[in-house]
Each structure stands twice: as structure tokens, then as C-alpha cells.
Structure 1
Amino acid sequence: MSAAPQTLADCFHCGGPIAGAAATSVLIDGVAQPMCCPGCAAVAQAIVDNGMSSYYRERTAFAAPGSEQPLPQGLALYDTPAELERYGQRNADTIEATLCVEGLRCAACVWLIERVLARVDGVLAADMNLATERLHLRWDPTRTGLAAVLAVLAGIGYRAYPYDAARREAGLAATARGLSRRLFVAGLSMMQVMMYAVPVYMATDGSLDADMETLMRWASLLLTLPAVAYSASPFFRGAFASLRARALSMDVPVALAIAAAFAASLLSTFSGRGEVYFDSVTMFIFLLLCSRWLELLARRRAAEALERLRHGLPASAQRLIGYPQSRVTQTVSAASLAEGDVVLVAPGEAAPADGILLEGASRVDLSLLSGESRPQARIEGEEIPGGAVNVEHPMLMRVTRPAAASTLAQLVRMAENAGQGKPMLAQWADRVAAWFVFGLMLLAAGAFVWWHIHDPARAWPIAIAVLVVSCPCALSLATPSALAAATDSLLRAGVLIVRPHAIETLHRATHIVFDKTGTLTLGRMTLRDVALYGSAERADCLRIAAALEAGSAHPLARAIVAAADTNLRQASEQQQSAGQGVSGMIDGMRYRLGRADYVEELSGRFIGRSAQGAFSSVYLGSAHGVLARFDIADGLREDARELVAQFAAAGKEMILLSGDGNAVVRDVADTLGIRRAHGEQTPQQKLDFVRRLQRDGAVVAMVGDGINDAAVLSAADVSFAMGNGAALAQAHADAVLLSDRLSTLAQAALIARKTMTVVRQNLGWAMVYNAVAIPAAACGLINPWISGIGMSASSMLVVGNALRLMRAARRI
């Protein structure tokens, strides 16, 4: 074939005229060929980079212009500065972006995409996530562009575009509709073909007229054609694309098996001799599409929690015009809200952005953000995160962060990035599955040759059975399907898995290292004990102390006020003594609250000091004597003891590291039952401590507040940060506890154990099934139609086991 004719002013790729300003060139077979636009240049460069320059030598017509490629708004658009700013994240010398990929058929597609993109010059990293169908890409813009990457993906049969939630949903719906139609056609063909096949199977020798059998064969052929030509078309396209990319995906043995069985049956029908396998072909196509429908269902269910988050912020908001003079509201887009705007949140509506409650104490539902099912009370002056649903009274709130920077928006971005990368088990399974397909092809060829020598009549059906019965999909699906189900369940419970290895590594962890302040404790002072020195009652002492401290912002004062009941006494003539305490008149008597020596001056009596160095002690006294001592310390979280007990029962060693004094740290450790505790630790000392544990062979899980422990969180094998609103953006951990409840970490540990159990079950089943079924097929013990049932059932079993994990996780 000769190349299509062109003039010197024509584009070498599409044949269109070249405008001087847009002219560029691509080196093809050693010659700089002119291109009319960056789109054509990107496509041509991708073809050359992937070793397909022969396309230009063998073509009979020009290709479509780059700007007319079946990709959104043209390839070249994605390399413009405006588009790069919109979808890409620019680092020092590279650009990162998340792409949606359509056309994924099984886990082997992941291996194919990553392998092909690894050969593209300038692509530095390409991580494909099957569960979310998203590709995380990092490239050097001086060596390639996104347009070239999209062209490469289109060349191997996958449509990709920068992530867009609306388009992603539309794509999933279109994929589901297309798969449903193919499944319907295949099922209808299978049922009709089986109506003709069963009488042939049941007929005894001579009981079925030859003309009738011939008629049934021709009828089966006509009924099989729609299944092969339409329902099985994705398998043939996928196989062709992978072979063109010099790779072997799971579509290759599937397409070969369908084509071989159909071709053999076609020849037998025309010749009137030999066996036909139309029933096996239609059954195999139908069952394989059933398994892929189940895979699609699993992927969509795994993304449900993220979709709920994405739709958590309302599209519009009621903004008050001229507040506080006017209460007139105006409906505006939530995205247009700016810091300082005042909005009305009616009962049943979600807050459109982060803000401060100005008027209208109410309760809000934070289940979307934290997994906490009980509504939380909010009063004036407290923060309301975007996405929180008002469940009681109308609220007026002042916007502090717009919708794009809100807590929910940050959470969505973190959840979207959570699918980047793959854990070690998934990488191992992908590598094994890739080599598995190659070995399977060799085994099928070897089985055909051996049987052709010893029993030629059985060679063809046995080779087909070997291709059909194998199931590398089950091997590749074993890990990602289970991890996707677990990640979805954890997100619903308030645990955001940021990096994919977190579940696997948490299960393997031998040491759990806790920070104290803000992790095991609440991070705020609470009254731990009241010691009475006289005949006064505890409640009266608390009322007096709270009256003296009313209005003070000091942490110790706030702890005392919070512990007292609402029936406070009134204090007058209050006087603050810096570093000493406060005094005031209550019911005609002067009281002092503060340090021991400060109270001693008024009471005239010596006070016995507290032996508890873990507390900050505040004394109350009058001229008649000392009344009480208030022991105040950072309050423990209610679920801290339960968490420590659970990890201890699991055989994990726990360590408490804190920058607080040794006495305080030791007291918390003793209260919770943690044997090893170290206080007065700097961030560097914490980091060194964790690294020493790792050098000794420990697998370390670190739990901290995510703000002051960034270094040690990053160094640990797996780390969990307490997420509290704005701190989400500062998380350096592998996972974030969104609800600030330690019980969610205990739930994560249980789900991690169940997940790894399911992964081992899936991998074990996949290996045992293939180890038994493939040799059995090669030995002629399994017919092609039985092979189709076995292969499809194996994939369904693996995905179904993962979905069982999703249901089990919700019951924890």
C-alpha cells in the first residue's frame, strides 16, 4: 500500500492545509513531517513513541484531524495554560492530574494501561485504580503533554479525560446501559441456542434425522451471530488493542476462545462434519458479561460514599442582603459565596460553606462528614462545617470559608486522591496476572499440539477449554475488590483512607504509638477531682469557684465553669492577681481561688500540697479556711480505654509518646493500661524513637493529631491523624479519623483484619481454581461449556466475597 497523496502544504497526519502560525512538525522515520496543529502533532507523536510508525507507511487515507479526535473538545485543548491550571497540579518540574478512564473491562486493563503509558516518553508515573476507574498521572511537560497521553489511551481502546464528577456519572450510566444491552442479547441468544442444542444432546444414535440436525445447526449459527458480533465486541476490541500495543490482556484469551469455538463450529456447520459449540459460545459470552456486570456493580457501590460526599454541599444558598439591618434573603449560587457573607440555613438544609453561627441555636447532622449518627448541638459563636445538615431551628451563619475551601470540599479532594497508588498485594497480583496470561497462551498451544498428535479430534475443543476455563481476572480482582469495599465502609464510618496501603499495613502492625494531647486526650482541660477540706459541699464549692471565674478565658477557669451547674452565684469586686489567682465577694464574704500560697494569705492556714504531679491544682478558700482543691487535667477521650484494650487483646504493643511532662504522661498511661510511656519528647525525639523501632523489625502504626506530628506520621509504616475541620488539609497521615472518635480506629482495625481475611480467601481461591481447572482442561476432563461456567463463576465468587465484606463491615 502507498501513502495517501499530499502536497508540501498539507498536514502529514490529516492532510489538511497548514496555516503558517500553527505549523509544527514531528520526526517520523527520520524525516520531520509537517503538522497543521498541536492536536495532530500530539497524535502523531504518540503513534511514533509507541512504535507504530508503520501506520503512516500502510495507510490508504488520512486520519481525522487532531482537533476532531473523539475526545472532549479536542486533544490540543488540554495542553493550553488555562486548562492545565483548571485540572492539573503543577509542581517544580512536573504536572499531576487525575483522569477518568472509560472502557475498562477487567483488572487486566489496569496492567495494560500502566504498561503502555510507562513507555511514553515524559510520563513519570501512571497509577490506574480499577475500583474508581481513575488514572493518576504525573508527567514532564517539556517532554510530553496530556494530549499525547490521551491519544495513546485512545489508541489502545480507552477513552480518558480530566476528572469531572458530572461527566463521570454520565459515563458510568452509559457503560451500564451498554453492558445491559449486550447482556440481554447474549442471554436471549444463549436461551434460544440451548433450545436447539438440548435435543441433540439427548438424542440416541439414529434417533435424530440428519436433516433435522443440520437445520438445528444452521439455526444455532444464526442465533449465535448477534452474541458474537455485538455482545462479544468489547472482548475483540480489547484484544486487538492490547496486541497492537504488544501486550497481553485478559481479553486476548477470551477473544481467542470465542473466535476459535465459533470458527470451528462454523466450519463444522458448512461441512456437515464434526462438533459444534454454539451453545458453549453463547453461554460463555453471557456468563462472562454477567461477571463483568457484577464487577461494574462492585465498582459503583465502592464509589457510593464518595458520591454522597460530593453532593453534600447544596448548589444554592439563601444570602442575607444588608444584614443586620435587613433580613431579606436572595437565592445565590453556593459557589459564589465569599468570606463574610451571612446566609440562612433552614431546617433540613445543609450549610453551603464553613461558617460561624450568629443566631439560632440548633442541632446539626454531621454524619456525612464524620460518620457520627447523633445530631450535635451548636450554639452562637460555634463553627458549622459546610455540608452539616440543620435538623432543628433556622440558623444564621457568617461564612468563614467559601464552598471551594470548605471542610467538605477538602474532604472530597482527599477522598478523590485516596485511590492513587496500589498496595503491595495488588501490585503482586497484577504482575502475576500479566505473566499468567502469557503462560496460559503457551499452555493452550502446547495442549493443542499434544492432542493433535495423539487424538486430533479432541485437540481443538481441549485448547478452547484451556483458554476458557482460566481466570486471571479472579487473581487480579482478589485484592482491589476487597480493598474497595473496605475503603467505602470505612469512609461511611468516618475513617478516610488516604493511601491504599493503610488497611494492609494496619493489619500487620506490631506496635501502636500514640501521641497524648488531642489524641488519647481531648486537648482541653477538664475537672478530674474535687478534694474537700471542710464541711462545705462539692456543688457549693463549684458554684463559688465558677462565679469567681465567670467570663475568664483561661483553660483552668473554663474547666471549672464547665463542671459547675447552671445555678451560679454572683461575684462582685473581682480582682485578678497575675500568676496567682482571682478573688471576689460572694454573699458578703471574700473568697480566693488560685495557687496554694495565694489562698493561704487569706485563710491564714497552711495547705497540704497535692501529691498528684499529673494535675494542675487550684485551691478555694476564705477567711474562715480552705474549702476545696480542684484537680484539673487534660480530659481523656471516653473511648480511649476501649481502644487500648482492643489492641492489647490483638497482641499489639502500645507506646505513648508526648511532649508533656513525665508525670502527666505516666498518669495517662497508667489510667489506660499502656506499659511504655515517654514524656518530654521533642518532634525529633519522637521521629528517632519510631525509626529505632523500625530498625528492630517493628511495623509501626502512629496515631497523632496531624499538626505537630507531621514528621513522625510520615515516617511510620502507617499513620492515622485526628481530623478536626480545617486540620484535614494539614494531614500528613495515611488515614484520617474524621469523627475525632478513637472508636473509629478500633473499627478500622477490625475491618482491616476482615479485609485481609477476604483477600487471602480470594487469592487462595483464584490460585487453587486455576491450579486445578487448567490442568483438568488440558487433560480433556472439562468440556468448553463447563469451562465457561467455571471461569465466570470464579470471577463472580471473588467479587461477591468482597461485597460480603462491605456488608459485614457495616455490621461492626
Structure 2
Amino acid sequence: MNTESMLCFHCAQPCPAQSDFQIRYRQALHPACCAGCQAVAETIINSGLDQYYTQRQQPADRNAPLPTELLEQLALYDDPALQQDFVHTTSGQEKEAALILEGISCAACIWLNEQHIAQLKGVTSVSINYSNHRARIAWDDSQIQLSTILQHIAAIGYRAIPYDHARDEQNWQKQRKSALFRLWVAGLSMMQVMMFVVPIYLAPAGEIEANWLSMMHWGSALLTLPVVMYSCWPFYRNSWRDLRRGRASMDLPVSIGVLVSFFASLYALITQHGEIYFDAVSMFVFLLLGGRYLELKARRSAGAAAEKLVKLVPTFAHQLDAEQRLHEVAVSRLKINDRIVVKAGEIIPIDGVVLGGTSDVNEAMLTGESLPVHKTSGALVTAGTANLLSPLTIQVQHTGSETRIAAMVRILDQALSQKPRLATIADQIAGWFVFGLLIAAAATYWFWHLHDPVHALPITVALLVVSCPCALSLATPTALTASTGHLAQLGLLVTRANLLETLAKVTDIVLDKTGTLTFGEPRITRTIALNISSEQALAIAQSLEQQSEHPIAKAFLAEPSAANLAAAQQVQKHAQGGLSATIDQQYYVIGSLAFITEQIHQAVPEEFEPYRSEGTMVALSDGHTWLAAFVLADQLRTDAITTIAELKACGVQLHLVSGDQSSSVQAVAQQLNIQSVVANATPESKVSYMQALQQQGKTVLMIGDGVNDAPVLALANVSIAMGAGVDIAHAAGDMVLLNNNLSCLPAALALAKKTQSIIKQNLLWALLYNLGALPLAAAGFITPWLASLGMALSSLLVVVNALRLLSRHKKP
């Protein structure tokens, strides 16, 4: 057995002297401290995941065989009632859970868990976000249970629990308070130490007596000690963790600089020979911790899009029972078809349909649309939106993980869990840079020790501090996180963070017509009123159509209310294609031209004839004469014309490719001034058209909404699915336009280009700063305190530059 070290191979804890537990790893035996660590290590190695032991950055937690109590507790997670809040059923037996992993300490832990979970039979996908340790696990419930997945996670020394926003917020507050207190200790020490050293710097040589000078130096040492022992502890812990695994992190130069400066100063104080740098140590740590605290808050702000969505949904609701009484209940206990009342000023907690009441609902938090949306009986409402004017009675359709807002959170989590190519490259450069920096520091110390031993130490410390590559690793992820959060505020959900790089290079945009440029459903395009006003005709028609479930009725109900009329009475639906009713004791009938002609035995008026070709006609009569006619047709979205003009101003080439008839497609193209037009396009021809553009070297963005758009959405370099489109289009798209508002597209293109520009600015600045500061420090032109200031400001500059992506963009 390999006895070079009697530390446990798995958890690195001391092994008992007579330990009989052994772990076979790569043809060698290693000691284990207990049966638990031996079992966990064997699970990892036998699963083909032995690479974990070469990648991890700190030893695993000591583990023991899973106790019966824990197994029983994990089995409870198979209860459907318990799963309601954090498990989403995607299709059939396919389920997806949102979990928080505890025990994660490095990237190797992420890799181990992903690989270990992914190889379980029945698990279809797993992704873990390193920044917040949130995991998304999808599995086939007919092949494996959630409790089994949790047991396998526990078997390798980690713990998975359902995602809880309150727990996540509690962890963030704990982290923030710890960082703030360490900063406070360093700041207080720096101020007190400067009270001692400023008189020393200002007084002429020999003016301060030796005993007073010694007392001031010892006071500085004592005041610096809490900084070295407490404020710097995270740097030591991280550096030691990495060194034990043969890696050098960005905290290593900081740790070396602090410890060398402090103990060299202490040695000089004891021997009364050499320079003392207690003030430089406390100032350096204060500036470094200050910069990192600001970075911590900035990254939290930039990545808060998903957290904001989670916070939108309230915990409690007013449930309406069979006796029309209200009861306060937890939202998690609501079931499908339950009825709730949402009062004015409250947030709607579920997805549902309005049964009673009329109000305006603010959907800006969800879709980015600032104008309130009018809601009446039959209208759909979404969890997270705000009821503004009066109470609404709502029937529950979806709760918890099945709501639209939960789907948005899943999409954001998926996007933020991916690591873009530029971020990976920057991390690799930073890792090699640290090794190069340590070599340069050793060479610098050797050179100055030979030529000027007195300045060898401060120059080496300045070199270690000034060239810490924190800014290099922050350059890309901070910008991408801020940009993704801004797009979510615009109503554009990103499913892959690295697509922003491609979006910035888009040269051509291919647009579908129906459901994308148009509403995809009939709208009233013209009203021809004969014996009454247009407003009165529309009001009567709306009152009648409220009693109809026909799709055409939606066109009338979608229009703003023209007048307040009494509800229709004695409603009668006719098989010939219309309905009749009385309003304020007046009889009215509405329906097709043929139906009204048959009812009143009068020919269609000549005033209607010129407009028949524009679309479907619906007529209104009082049973004796023609009152009005409405032309219904698929209509351009209100923002389509201005959006197309702005996209052209961005310099992209536009293409209209639709499966509709040539006449309607050409009419839309003419309205929008689009030159490249293809009509009667099949899904196959759309794919061929896309491939032809890509073969010409074009970077193509596709925008669509239907089932027939799914193949071409998947083929495009970047694709956007309309929020009102079908689920298969959402699955194929790289982004989802939640509010169906095309006007955000120019801003999205501008934001993508600005993101790439800021990433390049950040990387260029980080590289130039490090490469420029290193020779200056090595030459002795930078003092340790100035190096700490430069390093902190460099990292902060990168983060502040990235946060510019959160600001609103002007239209082109």
C-alpha cells in the first residue's frame, strides 16, 4: 500500500493508525479514514469518474454510509404533492426538477455531479450553474425516481435539496455580510495603522525617539494582525485548496504578497533591520476586499433576472369556496379549476382564466410591455402580473412549476448555466498567467536580491499584487450575464448565453408572415356604418359576440370597448352562421352577409361591395334593415412597419418567406418594403432557402411561430420563436419573444453588438493592464500600496464597464 501520506485519499483527514480501509486508484492502494469514504470513493471510481480526483480543487467532505433516516427522508421527495413546487412535468413521464446542490466548492465538483447523474438510467439531461449551484435535472419517471437520483448524489458526498428562493436569499445575505465585515475590519485597521505611520513619514529622520518609534511600529503590527488572520482568510483557504491539487488560483499571488509582506515586516521589527510594510498590507487588503465586494454586488445585480421572476409570485391567495366565501390559502395548495379572487393592487399568483370582473393588468414585469392590458370575462391571466383597478375572479389553470413564469425561469437558468467560448478561453489564459506571474516574481526577487537586497521584497510584492488577473476572468461572464438580464427585461428570453456572439454578426433576417409580422388571427380592419355611428355599431357587435365561442368573436372582443351597453338577453345561436339577441329591449342580429340577407330578405347594400375582397365580412342588422358591416382580416402587427424600417437602418438584409398565398404575401411585402419574398413555401423549401443563404456566407436570424417553422428555426444561425407560437417552435428557437413585440429586435441586435464590443474592451484592458503593469512593477516603479490600488480599480473597471449593458438603448 502507498504509505507516503496517512491522510485519507478521499477527504484528506488523518487516518487512524491501524486503519484497514483502502481505496484502489489507478493500480495503487491509498488509505481511507473510514468505511464511508471508502464506499464513496469506490462509487466514483467504479462509475468511470475517477478523473474527479485529478480535477478537484479541494478534498471531498467526509462521508458515511447513508443512514436509514436519510433514505426515508429522500423517499418522501417522490410524493407528487411535495414535488408540485419544484418539479415540472414536460411530457408524459418526463419530469424536470430545480435543485440546489450543497457541498460544491470548485468546478471539479460540478463536473463530477454532472457526469455521475447523467450516467444514471432514466436521466435525460442535467446542467448545474456554478455561480448559484442551481441544478436542472430531467428524468423519465417510469425508469428512475427522484429519490434514487438524490441518493446517488448523496453517495458521492453532496446533498441536493429543492430550490427555495428564501434559502438562496439567506445564503446570499450571509455571504454579503461576511464580505462586508471582513472589509470593515480591514478598513478600520488601515485607518488606525495610518495614524501611526503618517507621523513617521512626515517627521525628519531621527526626530522621533527610538522607543516611541518602536512602540508605533509594534502598534501597527498588532492592528494589522486581524487583517492578516481574519480578513485574508478566504484567500488562504482558496490558495491552499488549489495548491494541494497542483493548481495555482488568482488568490495565490494575493496570499503570498500579504504573508511575505507581513512576516518580513515582523522580522524587520524584531531584528531592527529592514523595511516595514504594515501600512501597505492593511491598505492593500482593504482596497482588494472593497473591489471584490463591489464586484459581488454588481454580479448579483447583473444576474438577478431569474431571481426577479421568482420573486414576482406571491405565496398566498384568496380562495373562493362553494359558498362564495374567501379563505387565505397557500398557493402551493391550489388545484386546477379552483377559484380565487385577486384584489386591486395584488399580484396574480397563478395562470388562469377570468370568470368575473373587469380590470386592467400590468404585464410589464413579465413581457416588458408598459401599457396595462384590459381583462374581462374569458381573458387569460399570467402569474406574476399585477391587477390594477378592481377585483377579478379567476379559475386556476396552472400553478407552481407549470406556470408560464416558471418556464421563463427554467429558460434563464439553462442559458446562465452554459459557459461561453470566450469565458472558457479567458479562464485558461488566467490560469496560465498565474503560473507565469509566480515565475516572474521569483526571477524579479532573485535579480533585485543580487543588485539591491533592500528593495527586493517590496518590488516582488508589488509585482505579485499588481498583476493579479482578476479582471481577465471577470471580463466575459459579467458582460454576458448583464446582457442576458437586459434582454429578459425587453421580453426576449435567451436559452443559450453564447448565442449573443452570433447575434452580433447577423447579416440577414428571415421572417415568417402569419403570426410573426401579422397577428395570425382575424382583426377588424374596416367598419362600414350605414344608419348608426361606427362606435355604436362596434359596441352592439361586442355585446352580441360576448355570447359566442366562435373564433371570429375574438376579433370583436379584442377591440377597445366602444360604449357601455346592457348585457345581451334572449341570445339565440343560429346554425346558418350567426346569432341574435335583445339589448335594451331592441332586437339585433349579427352574422355573415348571406345569413343577414336570409334574415331580413334584403340585398347586400352597394356600400359593402368594394370591400368584399379585403377579407371576411360580418354584418349587423336590427331585423329590418342593414346597420353596418365589419371587414375581418389578418392584420399587420402595430409595430411591424417601424421595426422593419429600424432593422433596415441596422444594415441587415430582410427576407419574407411564408407558406401563405402569393397575393397576401406580396401585399405584406409591399407594405413593409421587403424585396426578397417567397410565397407558398413548404417547410422543406424554407430549409432550402435558409441553406442557400448560409452557403453564401450569410449569418441568418430566423423569426417564426408555427409548427412548419420548427425545422428552419433549428437550422438558422440564431432563431427567435414568437411567444404566442406553438411549443415545438419554442423548443427549436434560441430565444423566445414573450410579448410578441417586434420593436425590441433592433434593440436586441444593438445590445448584442455592444456586448461583443464591451467584452473586447474588457479583455483588451485586462491584458494591456497586466502586461503593462508587470514590467513597471519589476523595474521598481510601483509600490505595494499603489499596486493594490491599481489591481482593485482594474477589476472594478471591468465590472462597471459590463454594467453599462443594463442601461436602455436608444433606437437606431
TMscore range, shorter length: 0.7 to 0.9
- Is structure 2 residue 615 aligned with structure 1 residue 616? yes
CA distance in 1, matches of 2:95, 2:38: 23
Give the structure 1 partner of residue 802 of structure 2.
Answer: 802
State the match for 1:363 in structure 2: 360
Work out which of the residue numbers 36, 40, 43 in structure 2 matches 1:42: 40
Quote how far apart the aligned CAs of 1:335 are. 0.9
8 Å Cα contact 1:345/1:394 also seen in 2 = yes
Q: Which deviates further from its counterpart, 371-380 or 540-549?
A: 540-549
CA contact (8 A) 2:730 2:736 kept: no
**1:441-489, Cα deviation, whole Å (9 max, x unpaired):** 2222222233333333333222211110013111111121122222223
Alpha-carbon distance in 1 for matches of 2:225, 2:741 = 59
Work out the CA distance in 2 between the residues paired with 1:775 and 1:411.
Answer: 49
Which of 443, 459, 480 does residue 462 from structure 1 map onto? 459
Aligned equivalents of 2:570, 2:77: Cα separation in 1: 66
Q: Report matched runs for 1:144-223 at 5 Å.
A: 163-223=163-223
Q: Which residue of 1 aligns with 2:737?
A: 737
Aligned equivalents of 1:32, 1:103: Cα separation in 2: 24
Shift of 1:38: 5.8
Which one of 407, 422, 439 corresponds to residue 442 of structure 1?
439
Are residues 1:480 and 2:477 paired? yes
Match of 1:389 in 2: 386
8 Å contact 1:593–1:618 — kept in the other structure? yes
- 1:297 — aligned with what? 297
Contact 1:96 1:138 in 2 (8 A): yes
Aligned partner of 1:512: which letter?
A: I
Q: Which runs of 5+ in 1 are unaligned?
A: 7-11
Shift of 1:341: 1.2
- Residues 24 and 788 of structure 1, relative CA distance in 2, 3 Å threshold: closer
1:764 aligns with 2:756: no
Please say if 1:496 is aligned against 2:493. Answer: yes
Equivalent position amino acid for 1:455 in 2: D
Residues 284 and 365 from structure 1, CA distance in 2 versus in 1: closer, same or farther, beyond 3 angstroms?
same
Distance 1:595 1:770, change over 3 A: farther
Q: Pick from 507, 512, 515 the counterpart of residue 515 of structure 1.
A: 512
- Tell me the distance in 2 between the aligned counterparts of 1:502 and 1:473: 25
Matched-pair contact (CA < 8 Å) for 1:485–1:803? yes
Structure 1 residue identity aligned to 2:403: S
2:350 aligned with 1:340 = no
Question: Do the aligned partners of residues 417 and 205 (structure 1) sit closer, same or farther apart at CA in structure 2, a change above 3 Å counting?
Answer: same
Mean alpha-carbon deviation: is it higher for 494-503 or for 720-729?
720-729
CA distance in structure 2 between the partners assigned to 1:473 and 1:5 by the alignment: 33
- Deviation of the 1:792 alpha carbon: 0.7
Match of 2:449 in 1: 452
Q: Distance in 2 between matches of 1:207 and 1:189?
A: 26
Deviates more, 1:640-649 or 1:431-440: 431-440
Q: Deviations over 1:277-303 (max 9, x none)?
A: 211111111111111101210122234
Contact residue 96 and residue 136 of structure 2 kept, 8 A: no
Aligned equivalents of 1:747, 1:63: Cα separation in 2: 47
1:240 positional shift: 0.5
Cα distance in 1 for partners of 2:75, 2:205 equals: 70
Q: How much does 1:64 deviate? A: 5.1
Deviates more, 1:543-552 or 1:740-749: 543-552
Q: How does 1:562-641 map to 2 (within 5 A)?
A: 593=593, 603=603, 615-616=614-615, 618=617, 632-641=632-641
Structure 1 residues 197, 594: closer, same or farther in 2, change over 3 A? farther
**Match in the other structure for 1:316:** 316
CA contact (8 A) 2:659 2:680 kept: yes
- Which residue pairs with 1:410 in the alignment? 407
Residue 9 of structure 1: aligned partner = none
Q: Secondary structure at the match of 1:755?
A: helix
- Residue 570 (structure 1) shift: 12
SS at match of 2:751: helix
Displacement of 1:742 = 1.5
Please list, as runs of the form range in 1=range in 2, the aligned pairs for 1:20-35 lying within 5 A after superposition: 26-27=23-24, 30=28
Q: Distance in 1 between matches of 2:231 and 2:749?
A: 43
Distance 1:174 1:455, change over 3 A: same
Task: State which drifts further: 128-137 or 399-408.
Answer: 128-137
Indicate the larger mover: 520-529 or 202-211: 202-211
State the Cα distance separating 1:199 from its structure 2 match: 2.7
CA distance in 1, matches of 2:357, 2:625: 45
Q: Is 2:302–2:803's contact at 8 Å kept on the other side of the alignment? A: no
Aligned to 2:64: 66
State the secondary structure of the residue aligned to 2:593: strand
* AA aligned opposite 2:258: I
Question: In structure 2, how many angstroms separate the alpha carbons of the residues matched to 1:393 and 1:270?
Answer: 77
CA contact (8 A) 1:643 1:743 kept: yes
SS in 1 for 2:393: strand
Q: Matches of 1:361 and 1:470 in 2, distance apart?
A: 63
Pairing 1:523-534 to 2, within 5 Å after superposition: 523-529=520-526
Deviations along 1:193-216, whole A, 9 cap, x unmatched? 222222333343433434433333
How far 1:658 moved relative to its partner?
1.6
SS in 2 for 1:747: helix
Partner SS state of residue 383, structure 2: coil
Separation of aligned partners in 2, 1:307 and 1:590? 49
TM-aligned CA deviation for residue 635 of structure 1 = 1.1
Structure 2 distance, partners of 1:449, 1:809, is 53
Structure 2 equivalent of residue 251 of structure 1:
251
What is the identity, as a one-letter code, of the residue corresponding to 2:439?
L
Q: How many angstroms does 1:715 deviate by?
A: 2.2
Contact 2:650 2:746 in 1 (8 A): no
Give, in whole Å, the separation in 2 of the partners of 1:588 and 1:244: 86
Does residue 721 of structure 1 match 2:718?
no
CA deviations 1:709-735 (Å, max 9, x no partner) are 232222222222222499599443222
Partner of 1:693: 693
Deviates more, 1:228-237 or 1:547-556: 547-556
Match of 1:260 in 2: 260
Q: Distance in 2 between matches of 1:5 and 1:801?
A: 46
Structure 1 137/782 Cα, relative in aligned 2: closer, same or farther at 3 Å? farther
Instruction: Confirm or deny: 8 A CA contact 1:541 1:628 kept in the other structure.
Output: no
| Distance apart, 1:591 and its partner CA | 10
Aligned pairs (5 A) from 1:80-91: 82=78
- Partner amino acid for 1:185? V
Deviation digits for residues 670-726 of structure 1, max 9, x if unmatched? 211222121222223223322332232222222222654232222222222222499
Aligned-pair CA distance for 1:364: 1.8
1:664 alignment partner in structure 2: 664
Structure 1 residues 468 and 619, CA gap change in structure 2 (3 angstroms):
closer
Deviation at 1:89, TM superposition (A): 9.6
Provide, for residues 283-335 of structure 1, a one-character-per-residue CA deviation record: whole Å limited to 9, x for no partner.
1111111111012101222343422321222222222222xxx2123322211
Distance 1:235 1:810, change over 3 A: farther
Paired letter, 2:171: G
2:800 and 2:288 mapped to 1: Cα distance?
A: 15
Instruction: Specify the alignment match of 1:306 in structure 2.
Output: 306
Classify 1:715/1:726 alpha carbon distance in 2 versus 1 (closer, same or farther; 3 Å).
closer
Aligned residues: 775
Question: What is the alpha-carbon distance in structure 2 between the residues aligned to residue 372 and residue 547 of structure 1?
Answer: 25
Give 1:259's aligned amino acid.
L
Question: Which letter does structure 2 place at the counterpart of 1:66?
Answer: A
For 2:149 and 2:17, how far apart are their aligned partners in 1?
22
Distance (whole Å) between structure 1 residues aligned to residue 638 and residue 155 of structure 2: 55
Distance 1:90 1:604, change over 3 A: closer
